[in-house]
Structure 1
Amino acid sequence: MADPATYRPAPGTIPVEPGVYKFRDVHGRVIYVGKAKSLRSRLNSYFADVYSLHPRTKQMVTTAAAVEWTVVSTEVEALQLEYNWIKEFDPRFNVRYRDDKTYPVLAVTLNEEYPRLFVYRGARKKGVRYFGPYAHAWAIRETLDLLLRVFPARTCSNGVFKRHSQIGRPCLLGYIDKCSAPCVGRVSADEHRQIVEDFCDFLSGKTDKMVRALERRMHEAAEDLDFENAARLRDDVQALRRALEKQAVVLGSGTDADVIAFATDELEAAVQIFHVRDGRVRGQRGWVVDKSGDALDVAESGTEMAALVEQFLTQFYGEQAAMADQNGDAAIVVPREVLVPELPADAEEIGEWLSRMRGSAVSLRIPQRGDKKALAETVQRNAAEALAQHKLRRAGDLTSRSQALQDIQDALELDSAPLRIECVDISHVQGTDVVASLVVFEDGLARKSDYRHYAIKEAAGNGRSDDVGSIAEVTRRRFARLARDREQPVEIEPDEVDEPASRPGIDPTTGRPRRFAYPPNLYVVDGGAPQVAAAAEVLDELGITDVAVIGLAKRLEEVWVPGETDPVIMPRNSEALFLLQRVRDEAHRFAITFHRSKRSRRMTASALDSVPGLGETRRTALVTHFGSVARIKDATVEEITSVPGIGVSTAKAVLAALNSP
């Protein structure tokens, strides 16, 4: 446990102006970001009696090894900078409202020549517009099925679209008039895009205008005695009305608002947000997060609820606006009204920040009466229900993770809980195509951005590589750079400001820690005593003594420790063993996935190995261009020569090799 007094700034050196501050640990990682109206008052509070702090705040200041700050001119700038730093550094002591990837949305690929409509789950992509989220995927498909009658846009995948373009016949939806069939040229690209844009306008809230336009066209067709067209337009109007009926009217026509509510307990907070556009609920989403427990945040914001509201507003709308900016529709994500259960202390500054994003005034307020208050109560009940369901799924997930880390520390007699665990696994087929995976868990959760693949160099002569040697190679490659950073620290003059770029393991261009520039607390290998001994020997050679090494054997789930003749046996129902199994299984899954892709690429290209004069670069170019050897086999000489670097003679040799018996 570090003493905060060791890195406390000298008295009088902290400015009194507003600003944003960062706490870093001994490895240079940013572990907490905060803002303050007065940096001096706020930071001095962290260096009071450590035992008077909230337990999580105490853990943060004793984990930290340095504090930095940036002075800004206004509190609005502080809001923006705090959001940017939280997004950039992902500090583990900050509450993060990550977008819930389980909620389905309706995606429209406006970045394609012929935009496509489809149900989607996952991270947002540039050039794609999203509607929702919706509670269920079937709700999207049901609504989409109704609207395709009026807006016959493409819903097929790229492969289906290309196939029907080649055969010159539309799919079933084209025959039943639920697709305008751009694949066969029934409509041009511009006409199809207009259909998609009308669809987007309808889902964006321009519903009454669309219905009135269709009704006007229906009456005009009837007056012209074009009763067939009038009947079709009548059915289109009915389809639009049925789609509108599925979206409950909760507020007055023309009302655009986001209604936010929270439910909390001692450890966690659940938040729900309803998106109301043109008086109708267009989407709903929710999160359950671990509370930061920072009493200083609460003191500055007024109450715990006010602190939660402030954190949520800055993170949610900051991320939504960043994604919307890619498509040029940033104003869409910020409505005219944001209704919250309690106003934070800097509500005026947050309202100004939201207004800048929207480009017009945004009202941030607490609903007091009428329909808006009733809707806010409904959202709050949803938040309470979400928190109750979360507890039922796994009682105290944060508690379980903390208990698992504590149990591992006790069972292995470690100096501290293993907040960062790395695990390596080897995958091969009888010694060939040997690969390894390295997965990372922090605070008991997978950190997939730090996952790594390794291609193992096979032993010369026999084309084989044993697991023990592979473990040693991966361990050496993983920790060699760490050892070099420690052996060659950057010299800093006593009177020089300790900027992030002047520390070992810090990227001088970004000021952020290089990935894997700091060690794990626990290094797990998939295997028994031989594999553990190999990893421990490499760490000894590199002079790394602060990393605990263990092995987890699959057969009996035994935990092996270097130098011990008997394994450590953990209870079968313990949270510690469950966490180690999850780490090991994730490493195995990641290794198997990489091994299969590598083996598939090798087997795909093997049929071209016998072609004289065709090197690896041109083999790769061929497979990349056609997608598979089977398609190359069916191609003509002219098609093959269209690949850069492939001549007529080489193309004929390729076809001869692939079509030979």
Structure 2
Amino acid sequence: MADPASYRPKTGEIPTMPGVYRFIDTHGRVVYVGKAKNLRSRLNSYFASVHQLHPKTYAMVHAAASVEWTVVGSELEAIQLEYTWIKQHTPRFNIMYRDDKSYPYLAVTMNEKVPRVQVMRGDKKPGVKYFGPFYPAKAIRDTVDTMLRVFPVRSCSAGVYRRAEAAGRPCLLGYIDKCSAPCVGSISVEDHRKLAQEFVDVMAGRPGPHIRRIETQMKQAVAELRYEDAARHRDELQAIQRVFERNAVVLADETDADIFAFAQDELEASAQVFHVRQGRIRGQRGWISEKVEEIDDAGMVEQLVLQIYGDMADSERMPREVLVPAVPENRVELTQWLSARRGAAVDLRVPQRGDKAALLETVRENAEQALSLHKARRSSDITTRSAALRELQEQLGLAEPLLRIECFDISHTGGTNVVASMVVLEDGLPKKKDYRRFSIRGEASRDDTSAMYDVLTRRFRKYLQESADLDVDDPGKFAYPPSLVVVDGGQPQVSAARRALDDLGLTDMPVVGLAKRLEEVWVAEDTFPLVLPRTSEALYMLQRIRDEAHRFAIAYHRSTRSKKMTASALDDVPGLGPKRRAAVVAHFGSVANLTKATPEEIAEVPGLGLETAQKILQHLRGDEPAQ
């Protein structure tokens, strides 16, 4: 760990203007991004009394090796630059209120000839009607399941629709009356579009005309003694009522707001948001993040707003109001930034009284409960994870903490289709965005040790190249070295990995292997393995990362094998060239799927006719050609 005094800039060198600063570690990674009205005052606070800093801030300044800053002309520019750098570098010490998924929406594709109801994430598409956001996604599926009983709009994929259309038989949803089956002509395209429009009207909060229509139909059925039809209409009314019970009106119909609240202690912060659209709570979401320094609700509002709405590419999803428990100092600049992203005015404020203030209090209670639950669940996990890392470091006799562990595994079928995987643990937790897959060819694929040597050579040669040509703004995918390299296997695989690292000059990088047979830990250049107790948390952590690497490698191997086997199975089909063969592989994915298909389904592949499709099936099934 670096001594902050070794890279502390001289006070006179730091400007007193507003700006944005970055703390950077020895490998060129940006570990923290911040902004300040007065850069000199803010940066000096990190170095003046290091031992009195917040625990996370203390860890951050010791993890860094340098600090850089950029002067800007205004606080609005500082907001924009800070957001850009946080999004670009994802610094590990910044409070990050993000996960790996965008908000789920219920979508009706009115831009298609035959509209479809589905769950969508990501950016909005023109002509598609969206309702939400909903969270969790199960809330949408429950709503769709209920609404399809009343308005049986198509919800199948394009491929399923085409196959049903070609076969002349609807899918299961058509048989159980959850789809009106336009694919087989049970309803005309025009009538199906009207049905989809009714679905949209009800979801948009205009159920009145449809409820009155269903009530009239129910009364008419009773008068005509058609009691089964009357019961069906009654069930339809109850289904619509259940949908609106899930989306209860809590505010005025025109209310379009996101309501945020927080709960925090010295080390962690909990954030919750309720999404209110057309006066209804459409969804709820929460985050738990570690704090780097002491920060009040106003500061947390600023960071949360920047990250949540900065990632929102579709301006239509941004609300007219953002209701928060405290207004940040730079409210004017933050409101300007939000309004610019939305393309219309955004009101950032604290509700003082009435229903909105009451709902804010409800959101705050949710945040407090989430933080309490998180601390109860995580206390044992954090202790166990830290103990495992510390035990593994001690057992291997390593001087540096195991901040990053990389594990490599080889997968193949009898020496063919050889692939490899690399999985990563940081602070004992998987870091999936750093996972990598390798395809191995030529001499390197002759056995496991050759493949292991090839993979590690490629991975760490890339690391050396990116380290030599280090660009702080773009450190590259392989720029960060691990504290420990783990390979799946025994002494031969460990020796191959050690040889690869030594040949690259990385002699100080530790390597171990975990053999499956007896779960022995092999250390490079040691004659005998290290046997950890079966109850050891360190052994359990090694097993988890080894199994994760194996799973990741197997998944990649199956996908490549499936495509290659499908392609090779089609090699001898008369009249089927490389381009059309590739199109068949892309369409069906495997020999099993292709064999189950009908000639008509195969003929749907672009460029194929029915005659060629029949030849493909005859070739795969071993049938004699028709005379």
* TM-score, length of structure 2 as denominator length: 0.84
Pair 1:143–1:526, CA change in 2 (3 A): same
Structure 1 counterpart of 2:298: 306
2:134 maps to which residue? 133
**Do 1:339 and 1:367's aligned partners in 2 also have CA atoms closer than 8 Å?**
yes
Distance 2:165 2:62 in 1: 64
1:255 alignment partner in structure 2? 255
Structure 2: distance between partners of 1:392 and 1:32: 28
* Match runs of 1:584-599 below 5 Å: 584-599=546-561
Residues in 2 aligned to 1:562 and 1:288: alpha-carbon distance in whole angstroms: 40
Determine the structure 1 residue equivalent to 2:317.
332
Answer yes or no: is 1:211 the counterpart of 2:207.
yes
Answer yes or no: is the 8 Å Cα contact 2:261–2:325 preserved in 1: yes
Question: Structure 1 residues 79 and 246 mapped into 2: Cα distance closer, same or farther (>3 Å)?
Answer: same
Aligned counterparts, 1:460-475, within 5 A: 465-475=446-456
* Separation (CA, whole Å) in 2 of partners of 1:616 and 1:174: 38
Give yes or no for contact 2:603–2:610 (8 Å, CA) kept in 1.
no
Q: Distance in 1 between the 2:460 and 2:552 partners?
A: 20
Matched, 1:624 2:605: no
Q: Verify: 1:535 aligned to 2:534, yes or no.
A: no
* Cα distance change, pair 407–134 in 1 and its aligned pair in 2 (3 A): same
* 1:404-434 Cα distance to aligned partner (Å, 9 max, x none): 3333333322232122211101112333322
Verify the 8 A CA contact 1:211 1:237 in the aligned structure 2: no
Moved more, 419-428 or 47-56: 47-56
- 1:160-199 to structure 2, matched below 5 A, reads 160-171=160-171, 173-174=173-174, 178-184=178-184, 196=196, 199=199
The one-letter code matched in structure 2 to 1:161 is: Y
Inter-CA distance 97–560: structure 2 relative to 1 (3 Å threshold): same
Residues 105 and 404 (structure 1 numbering): CA distance in 2 closer, same or farther, change over 3 Å? farther
Structure 1 CA distance for aligned equivalents of residues 184 and 14 of structure 2 = 69
Alignment of 1:258-657 (within 5 A): 258-291=258-291, 293-295=292-294, 298=295, 303=296, 305-319=297-311, 321-322=312-313, 325=314, 330-336=315-321, 338-395=322-379, 397-457=381-441, 459=443, 465-484=446-465, 489=468, 504-506=469-471, 511-610=473-572, 619-625=581-587, 631=594, 635=599, 639=603, 643=607, 657=619
Equivalents in 2 of 1:349, 1:124: separation in Å? 27
In structure 1, the residue corresponding to 2:379 is in which secondary structure? Answer: coil
TM-score of the two chains, using structure 1 as the length reference: 0.80
Deviation at 1:91, TM superposition (A): 1.1
1: distance between equivalents of 2:150 and 2:62? Answer: 62
Instruction: State the shift of 1:390 in Å.
Output: 2.4
Separation in 1 of the partners of 2:341 and 2:601?
A: 56
Structure 2 partner of 1:497: none
Matched letter for residue 59 of structure 2: Q
Task: Give 1:283 shift.
Answer: 1.1
C-alpha contact 1:483 1:543 (8 A) present in aligned 2: no
Deviations 1:283-334 (A, max 9, x none): 111122222x224xx3xxxx3x332222222212222x32xx2xxxx23332
SS in 2 for 1:566: coil
- SS of match in other structure, 1:433: strand
Aligned to 1:494: none
Contact 2:393 / 2:401 at 8 angstroms: preserved in 1? yes
CA contact 1:641–1:647 (8 Å) conserved in 2:
no
Does structure 2 conserve the Cα–Cα contact (< 8 Å) formed by 1:331 and 1:358? yes
Note the residue ranges of structure 1 that are not aligned, 5 or more in a row: 490-503
* Separation in structure 1 between the aligned mates of residue 605 and residue 285 of structure 2, nearest angstrom: 52
Identical columns (%): 55
Greater shift, 185-194 or 425-434, is seen at 185-194
Q: Structure 1 residues 395, 104: closer, same or farther in 2, change over 3 A?
A: farther
CA distance in structure 1 between the partners assigned to 2:11 and 2:336 by the alignment: 34
Q: Deviations over 1:452-471 (max 9, x none)?
A: 222223559xxx73322221
Alpha-carbon contact 1:217-1:233 (below 8 Å) kept: no
Q: 1:282 to 1:180 in 2, by over 3 A?
A: same
Superposed displacement of residue 93, structure 1: 1.0
Give ranges in structure 2 of 5+ residues lacking alignment. none
Does the 8 Å CA contact 2:600/2:610 hold for their aligned counterparts? no
